[in-house]
Amino acid sequence: MKISLAISTIGVIIFALGIIFHLQGQAVVGPQSSFMYANPTWITYGIQIAVVGVIITGVGIGIKFLRRS
Protein backbone atom coordinates (compact mmCIF):
# COMPACT_ATOMS: atom_id res chain seq x y z
CA MET A 1 0.00 0.00 0.00
CA LYS A 2 2.73 2.45 0.93
CA ILE A 3 4.80 1.75 -2.17
CA SER A 4 1.89 2.47 -4.50
CA LEU A 5 1.22 5.76 -2.71
CA ALA A 6 4.90 6.71 -2.97
CA ILE A 7 5.03 5.88 -6.69
CA SER A 8 1.82 7.79 -7.36
CA THR A 9 3.09 10.82 -5.43
CA ILE A 10 6.35 10.82 -7.36
CA GLY A 11 4.38 10.60 -10.61
CA VAL A 12 2.22 13.59 -9.68
CA ILE A 13 5.31 15.63 -8.78
CA ILE A 14 6.98 14.76 -12.09
CA PHE A 15 3.76 15.66 -13.92
CA ALA A 16 3.62 19.05 -12.19
CA LEU A 17 7.26 19.76 -13.03
CA GLY A 18 6.61 18.86 -16.65
CA ILE A 19 3.76 21.36 -16.81
CA ILE A 20 5.95 24.05 -15.24
CA PHE A 21 8.76 23.35 -17.73
CA HIS A 22 6.27 23.47 -20.60
CA LEU A 23 4.93 26.84 -19.44
CA GLN A 24 8.45 28.20 -19.01
CA GLY A 25 9.24 27.17 -22.56
CA GLN A 26 6.20 29.15 -23.68
CA ALA A 27 7.34 32.19 -21.63
CA VAL A 28 4.23 32.05 -19.42
CA VAL A 29 5.91 31.51 -16.02
CA GLY A 30 9.38 31.78 -14.60
CA PRO A 31 12.14 34.33 -14.53
CA GLN A 32 13.26 35.76 -17.85
CA SER A 33 16.86 34.95 -16.92
CA SER A 34 16.14 31.19 -16.99
CA PHE A 35 17.63 29.16 -19.85
CA MET A 36 14.22 27.50 -20.26
CA TYR A 37 12.32 30.78 -20.66
CA ALA A 38 10.93 31.20 -24.20
CA ASN A 39 12.85 28.15 -25.40
CA PRO A 40 10.83 25.97 -27.83
CA THR A 41 12.89 22.91 -26.93
CA TRP A 42 11.57 23.04 -23.36
CA ILE A 43 8.00 23.13 -24.60
CA THR A 44 8.56 19.64 -26.00
CA TYR A 45 10.60 18.47 -23.01
CA GLY A 46 7.87 19.67 -20.64
CA ILE A 47 5.20 17.68 -22.46
CA GLN A 48 7.38 14.58 -22.47
CA ILE A 49 8.14 14.91 -18.76
CA ALA A 50 4.43 15.40 -17.98
CA VAL A 51 3.55 12.25 -19.94
CA VAL A 52 6.16 10.27 -18.02
CA GLY A 53 4.62 11.60 -14.79
CA VAL A 54 1.19 10.39 -15.87
CA ILE A 55 2.61 6.96 -16.72
CA ILE A 56 4.36 6.67 -13.34
CA THR A 57 1.16 7.72 -11.58
CA GLY A 58 -0.73 5.07 -13.54
CA VAL A 59 1.80 2.44 -12.50
CA GLY A 60 1.33 3.42 -8.86
CA ILE A 61 -2.44 3.17 -9.18
CA GLY A 62 -2.10 -0.15 -11.04
CA ILE A 63 0.06 -1.58 -8.26
CA LYS A 64 -2.57 -0.55 -5.73
CA PHE A 65 -5.31 -2.39 -7.63
CA LEU A 66 -3.17 -5.49 -8.26
CA ARG A 67 -2.34 -5.83 -4.58
CA ARG A 68 -6.03 -5.69 -3.66
CA SER A 69 -6.88 -8.68 -5.86
Model pTM score: 0.91
Residue 21: domain span: 2-68
| 48 Cβ neighbours under 8 A, 6+ residues apart | 18
Q: How distant, in Å, are the alpha carbons of 12, 25, 53, 69 from that of 45?
A: 16, 9, 12, 37
CA–CA distance, 57 with 29 (Å, rounded to integer):
25
Rama region for 39: left / alpha / beta (φ>0; ψ in -120 to 50; rest) = beta
Q: How many domains is the chain partitioned into structurally? A: 1
Residues 55 and 7: beta-carbon distance below 8 Å: no
**53: confidence class by pLDDT, cuts 50, 70, 90:** very high
pLDDT digits (tens, 9 = 90+) for 8-43: 999 999 999 999 999 999 999 989 999 999 999 999
